[in-house]
Amino acid sequence: MPYARTALLLAGLTGLFLAAGYLIGGEAGMVVALGLALVMNLFAYWSSDRMVLSTYGAREVGPKDAPELWNIIERLATRAALPMPRVYIIDNPQPNAFATGRNPQNAAVAATTGLLQTLDHEEVAGVMAHELAHVKSRDTLIMTITATLAGALGMLANFAFFLGGSHRQNNPLGAIGTILVVILAPIAAMLVQFAISRSREYEADRVGAEISGRPLWLASALEKLDRSSRRVDNHVAEANPATAHLFIVNPLHARASDGLFTTHPPVENRVLRLRQMAGAAGSWG
């Protein structure tokens, strides 16, 4: 993903922080929010990947801890001409996976225990190729930064709810300003997720299929992941919805009402594209 788009998103998030700070505490609140935004931007760039991995309790594994998963990723990384990423496993029954890191040299891929138990060897390879496609396309940075800053916007809303009243004398809109922050900040966090184009997943599917050489591996994996993730809760993701866009399939089925408010394209559309890709390639399967 182009760095210009990353800069634009960060500027938009900074503007949201400033607006929220102004509604909470006037000009003084805006100055505090600016400082917070600068700190969060720096933190998100350097540490957001570690924060997300920590949030999900991911544990790093090596070739002796998870030899099959490690070997799959090592072979795919070689095919993709990428450095070997750090490999993590998340103890979570919902089958899912994500990639994170500010660049390919500092990338990590994480798979849940549910994914490793649900998919066969080829399907795991299809999923890991998809995640390495995110690394190769360099969109893991904006994905992880978005998760961190969207969560910070939610934190700011909580701050406004619990402490806004005590600063009402500096609040240009009084109680209305505080209420606006409480209501609009979570909505803004959701819109930040929408800023991550749903076409990103289609592109990662395409590039991932090229990395593995087998589009149908990922197609089969997506069908299984979609069915299983709808039945199994991911409680950590439900508590941290700003991270939902990181995963290969939507982990928030417990809150999902329809396909409008999701950063993930419909799985059936993704599978159709992959099957068309396999058909066009002829020898792929």
Instruction: Using DSSP, state whether 239 is helix, strand or coil.
Output: helix
Tracing tokens 């709810």 back to the chain, one arrives at: 161
Sheet-wide strand order for 59-61: 59-61, 86-90, 108-112, 97-100
Nearest to 113 by CA among 65, 43, 151: 65
Residues with a known catalytic role: 131
Whose CA is closest to 262, among 228, 230, 220? 230
Side-chain-side CA neighbours of residue 55 (13 Å):
23
Q: How far apart are the first and last CA of the chain?
A: 29
